[in-house]
Structure 1
Amino acid sequence: MYRCEYCEGTVQPLTLKREAFKHRDGFVILEDVTIGVCDTCGNRYYCADISSCGSCCCNWSETLSKN
């Protein structure tokens, strides 16, 4: 747990069945993922592994759309 960068809340781990977030020109949908959520303002935090996975998925889909 750590402090939220936007308010005085605490970021708590939360495991979700499905989470979608905007990345570049589209959306990434993750299943069975643990993210951080502020218990006061609700801001969501994604670990570096999730962020890089989203980038990898987007690069892969861009490659497919070019072929």
Structure 2
Amino acid sequence: MAETNLLSQQELDLKQSIKERLAQLLREEEIKWFQRAKTKELLEGDDNTKFFSDGGQWKKKENKNF
């Protein structure tokens, strides 16, 4: 509609409101996936670090690929 006709002020405001809501939803989704990835990494561990429950210290694994 905006391509063929001029939009009224009310329509422009609605368009802007929808754009802002979409941007907010995209940010929330990005945060959700980031948090999910962090949780998965903590549960599965990674190749370089491991969490030891004794005092909650992060310790490097020794690299024995020589």
Larger radius of gyration: 2
- So what's the TM-score if we normalise by structure 1? 0.32
TM-score (norm 2): 0.33
Structure number with the higher strand fraction is: 1
The structure carrying a bigger helix percent of its residues is 2
